[in-house]
Structure 1
Amino acid sequence: MSWRAHRKAATVISLSITLCALFYWQSNNIHFQTSSCGCGSCPKENEDEGSWFSKRFNASFHPLMSRNSSVLNEKASKWWKGLQPFQGQPDYRVVVEKLFKLIPDKEYYRDGSPDRCRVCSVVGNSGNLKNSHYGPLIDASDFVLRINKGPTKGFEQDVGSKTTHRIIYPESAVDVDNSTHLVLVAFKPLDMEWLINVFTTHRVKHTYTRVKSTLQANTSLIMVINPSFMQYVHEAWLKKNGHQPSTGFLTVVLALHICDQVKVFGFGANKQGAWDHYFERIPPSFKTGGHKGSFEYDMIKELDKRDQIEMYRGW
């Protein structure tokens, strides 16, 4: 064999070895190459097409409103406006135009990548948080999402002190500090009108009950849950059980959409099997409204069972 032939053969062999080595490296580092997040564990990437979770989770439904995403299709509009259809509701398109003159018109949290590891704690209000000592674990998360009026002062050892997002509706509103995102769940157009009014005219003082006419919050950090997202949660996740999703369950699904790992605290009954709040006593006759709490809780337990969330029961 000539010198040129030997050299050509050596080149071919060397190239083959390089390609084999590269294939082996890629095969053994496939998680690094295709990982959907930068955490050690990225639960959503472990789901196969057609799985229980994949049949419900739809990443195309972004939970937070922008001017562009505020346009509702006919089905979503009919569903949302039918939740609380009493008289005196403002025109949706008009109120949305006013809304985005007050709050930022942004596309939030579309930054998912193999470099991001966002850990979020969703903190409900169950009495099972009493004496749980979960406070430091909750505060260690990047985002801490609290629901309705659940306080932190005086309960820091069990519920933590950090709040990055406070999810409310008008009838459950509380003041928040200047660094917290106030996230409105609007069950009707009047709720958006109320949000505008608490920072402007202060004229909306009553919905189906008396509501705050002023509110302390940083308007540059205010967000609004998209009505289309609410319909998606009701149909895809709850299979239309209950009249509407609760703020608690909406917050859990919100976290699944904007976070890489989700920890859930303060949902379900206390150690004695009673459904109460960690900060107040609830009378036995208390009604939960238009949502089906038992079905929602079963869904949260199923998410925990399938390792999509980590659920902390306090007992």
Structure 2
Amino acid sequence: MDYKEMLFKFLENDTNIQYCLPIVKKLLQANFRGGNFVITVDNKKLVVKPDEIKTKIQTVLEFMVKKALLEGYNVLVTPCIISREQAPNFYLENEIPKAEELWRFLYLLLTGVHGFDYVLNIENVPTKIGESFREWLINKNYLVIEAKHSGLNVKELLSSLNIPKGLPLEEFIMSFIFLSYFAKFWRDMQKTIEIARDFGKPLSEIPDDALLVVFVLSRQKKRMYVFPRLKEVITKYYSDFFLSDDQIPSICRFVFSLYISDADYKEVCAGILNKFLYYLLQGHINGELLSKAIELKINYELKKKEHKIFGLHSASQFLTKLG
């Protein structure tokens, strides 16, 4: 698989370039000097003004990869790497990345769905599926591509899944939301005969090696997570959704009914849910975290002053998935 070729083909579309500019600028933010982005490679210096990145994006990417090939792993292309300056004892001397590996990182980053400090992508699915997923998100107004703003329309995302207002969108909560929209897209695509004919096989068959890839590009701590059991997770937790006409998967109703919006509880509750979803995205249910979330929810509902009690939604559907 030639990731460089795939990425440059993606960038042939002016709209796609506009879409991924915020990610390129995030990758380059440590190289911002005197109003310009500056990349130095082997005594050669590339100086690009912020408004020039769009027209020079391929040159910028080539420079980023060349720098890593000559100097070793760096945060320009692999944002989750620890730099030599930050942790010299952990840096592997003479460990030079391969060009294809670097282009893979850039491909996943720039073609991914981004919002806040997150970039999310599905790897090892046919290219047309990835393109169709992006088009579906745009058509549903979940993904916005505009000159002044591009990325996830978070307000619309939360509204369509009936997610409680004020829920802190930590990395695994956001990843779970993204996966749920991929499941919604997949169900819609199952009904599209033309695409199914193009692939010559049922679209219900998610590739065994499909991955969920998550990048966190915050200034303080950049991270990357790979969840390899995508097919297993979707098959196990969204199978009833594929067979129904519901607009919200039962797994979403259950998970988000555990959330407590009270100011004294929300941060603790969201932290537990975030950790719980980390395991769920790997195909596991952490019983201890689930018990904590349920116990916290019950204690809150019984102690609050309001008489109306909000229970857990779709609990029976969730429990049947554990068998």
TM-score, length of structure 2 as denominator length: 0.26
Q: Which has the higher contact order (CA 8 A, sep 6+)?
A: 1
Q: Which has the larger radius of gyration?
A: 1
Greater per-residue helix proportion: 2
